[in-house]
Amino acid sequence: MAELNEMQEITKKLSDNQQLFRLVLKDCCDIIYRSIKIPLANDDCDGLLISLDGLVSEEIINDYIIKPIKQHSYQTSKLMRKKPDMNYYKEIILVNNIASSSKVGDIILGILSGDTILMVEGHNTALIINTREWDSRSVEESNVEKLVRGPKDSFVEDLRSNTAMIRRKIKDPNLKIREVQVGTRSRTRVSVIYIEDIVNHKVLNETIEKLNAIKVDGIFDSGYIEEYLESNKFSMFPQMVVTERPDKVCGNLLEGRIAILVDGSPDAIIFPVSFIQFIQSPEDYYERILYGNVVRIIRMVGFLIATTFPAFYVAITTFHQEILPTNFILDIAKTRVSVPYPPVVEALLMEGTIELLREASNRLPTGIGQTIGIVGAIVIGDAAVRAGLASPVMVIVVAITAIGSYIFPHFSTSYSVRFIRLPMIIMAATFGAFGIVVMWVLIIAHMCKLNSFGNPYMTPYAPFQLNDLKDSIVRFPNLSFKKRPMSANSRNRLRK
Amino acid sequence: MINRYRDGEITSGQLYIMIVSIMIGTGVLGLSRAIAEFAQQDAWISVIINGIIISLTTAMAIYVAQKHPEMNFIQYTAKLLSKPIAYLILFTYSVYAVLSTGLIIRFLSDMVGTWFLPRTPTIIVTFIIIASTVYIVKDGLTLVGRFNEIIVLSILSFIILIFPSLSKASVLNLMPVGGSGVVNILKGVLPSYYSFAGFEIVLLFYPLVSNKNPKILKYSVFSILFVTLFYTITVASQIALFGYIEIKDILYVSINYLDVLDTPVIERIEIFFAIFWTFSVFGTISIQYIAASIGLQSIFNTKKTSFFTYLFAPLIFIIALLPRNTVEVAAYSDILGKITIFFGIIIPVLLYIMYHLRGGKMKNEKA
Q: Is residue B167 part of a domain?
A: yes
Inter-residue contact B282 to B151 (CB < 8 Å): yes
Q: Quick one: which of A320, A221, A230 has its CA closest to A271?
A: A230
Range with the lowest mean pLDDT among B37-51, B109-123, B149-163, B248-262?
A: B248-262
B268/A431 Cβ within 8 A: no
Spell out which residues of chain B touch residue A203, defining contact as CB-CB under 8 Å.
2
User: Per-residue pLDDT tens for B251-285?
Assistant: 888 888 888 877 777 778 888 888 999 999 999 99
A456/B146 Cβ within 8 A: yes
Q: How many CB atoms lie within 10 A of CB A466?
A: 9
Of residues B1, B2, B278, nearest to A434 (C-beta): B278
Range with the lowest mean pLDDT among A87-96, A431-440, B53-62, B172-181?
A: B172-181
Provide the strand spans (E) within chain B: none
pLDDT score, position B133: 95
pLDDT score, position B363: 47
pLDDT score, position A177: 94
DSSP string covering B267-299, please? S-THHHHHHHHHHHHHHHHHHHHHHHHHHHHHH
Inter-residue contact A302 to A343 (CB < 8 Å): no
**CA atoms lying within 13 Å on the CB side of residue A11:** 9
Q: Which residue has the higher pLDDT, B71 or B59?
A: B59
pLDDT exceeds 80 at position B307: yes
Inter-residue contact B141 to B288 (CB < 8 Å): no
Averaged over B19-27, what is the pLDDT?
Answer: 88
pLDDT score, position B214: 87
pLDDT exceeds 70 at position B242: yes
User: Per-residue pLDDT tens for B89-100?
Assistant: 999 999 999 999
- Compute the distance between CA of residue B305 and CA of residue B142 in angstroms, rounded to an integer: 11
pLDDT score, position A191: 95
Of residues A323, A432, A462, nearest to B117 (C-beta): A432
Q: Is residue B17 part of a domain?
A: yes
pLDDT score, position A381: 75
A320/B143 Cβ within 8 A: no
Q: Which residue has the higher pLDDT, B4 or B115?
A: B115
pLDDT exceeds 70 at position B71: yes
- Compute the distance between CA of residue B286 and CA of residue B16 in angstroms, rounded to an integer: 15
Q: Is residue B132 part of a domain?
A: yes
Q: How many CB atoms lie within 10 A of CB A6?
A: 10
Domain range holding B66?
A: 12-366
Is there a cis peptide before residue B164, judged by omega within 30 degrees of 0? no
Residues of B with CB under 8 A from a CB of A: 1-5, 11, 13-14, 17, 112, 116-117, 120, 125, 128-129, 132, 135-136, 139, 143, 145-147, 149-151, 264-268, 271, 274-275, 278-279, 282
> What total number of domains does chain B contain?
1
- What are the sequence ranges of the domains in chain A? 14-130, 159-273, 287-455
Say yes or no: A451 contacts chain B, CB-CB below 8 A.
yes
Q: Quick one: which of B108, B98, B93 has its CA closest to B340?
A: B93
A454/B3 Cβ within 8 A: yes
pLDDT band at residue B364 using 50, 70 and 90 as cut-offs: very low
A455/B147 Cβ within 8 A: no
Q: Which residue has the higher pLDDT, B323 or A72?
A: B323
CATH of the domain at B131: 1.20.1740.10
> Any bridge partners for residue A37, and if so which?
A46
Helix, strand, or coil here: A339? Answer: coil
- Compute the distance between CA of residue A311 and CA of residue A347 in angstroms, rounded to an integer: 8
A494 exposed, middle or buried (CB, 10 Å; 0-12, 13-18, 19+)?
Answer: exposed
pLDDT score, position A377: 67
pLDDT score, position B361: 52
Nearest CA distance, A175 vs chain B (angstrom): 23
ipTM score for this prediction: 0.93
Inter-residue contact A351 to A313 (CB < 8 Å): no
pLDDT score, position B259: 81
B147/A462 Cβ within 8 A: yes
pLDDT score, position A4: 65
Q: Is residue B7 part of a domain?
A: no
Of residues B13, B143, B149, nearest to A449 (C-beta): B143
B267-297 burial, b if ≥16 CB within 10 A, otherwise e? bbbbbebbbbbbbbbbbbbbbbbbbbbbbbb
- Compute the distance between CA of residue B347 and CA of residue A244 in angstroms, rounded to an integer: 60
pLDDT score, position B176: 82
Spell out which residues of chain A touch residue B2, defining contact as CB-CB under 8 Å.
202-203, 206, 453-454, 489
- Test mutation, A327, A437, A466, chain B, max B CBs within 10 A: A437
pLDDT score, position B257: 86
Nearest CA distance, A432 vs chain B (angstrom): 7
Nearest CA distance, B268 vs chain A (angstrom): 5
pLDDT band at residue B3 using 50, 70 and 90 as cut-offs: low
Of residues A438, A445, A455, nearest to B147 (C-beta): A445
Sequence letter at residue A143: N
User: Per-residue pLDDT tens for A93-128?
Assistant: 888 889 988 888 889 989 998 999 999 888 888 999
Of residues B117, B147, B268, nearest to A323 (C-beta): B268
A231/B2 Cβ within 8 A: no
Give percent of chain B above pLDDT 70: 96
- Compute the distance between CA of residue B291 and CA of residue B304 in angstroms, rounded to an integer: 13
Averaged over B117-125, what is the pLDDT?
Answer: 91
Inter-residue contact B169 to B240 (CB < 8 Å): yes
Is there a cis peptide before residue A460, judged by omega within 30 degrees of 0? yes
Nearest CA distance, B81 vs chain A (angstrom): 35
- Test mutation, A434, A443, A453, chain B, max B CBs within 10 A: A434
pLDDT score, position A363: 78
pLDDT score, position A193: 95
User: Per-residue pLDDT tens for A420-437?
Assistant: 899 999 999 999 999 999
Nearest CA distance, B7 vs chain A (angstrom): 12
- Test mutation, B147, B219, B279, chain A, max A CBs within 10 A: B147
- Compute the distance between CA of residue A143 and CA of residue A431 in angstroms, rounded to an integer: 41
pLDDT band at residue B367 using 50, 70 and 90 as cut-offs: very low
pLDDT score, position B359: 67
Give how far Cα A487 sits from Cα of A293, A359, A471, B10, B111, Å: 20, 34, 11, 17, 39
Say yes or no: A432 contacts chain B, CB-CB below 8 A.
yes
Secondary structure tally for chain B: helices H, strands E? 17, 0
Say yes or no: A206 contacts chain B, CB-CB below 8 A.
yes
Please state, rounded to an integer, the average pLDDT across all residues of chain B.
Answer: 87
Q: Which residue ranges of chain A lie beneath pLDDT 70?
A: 1-4, 81, 367, 369, 373-375, 377, 496
Give how far Cα B188 sits from Cα of B27, B172, B222, B229, Å: 14, 20, 23, 16
A448/B150 Cβ within 8 A: yes
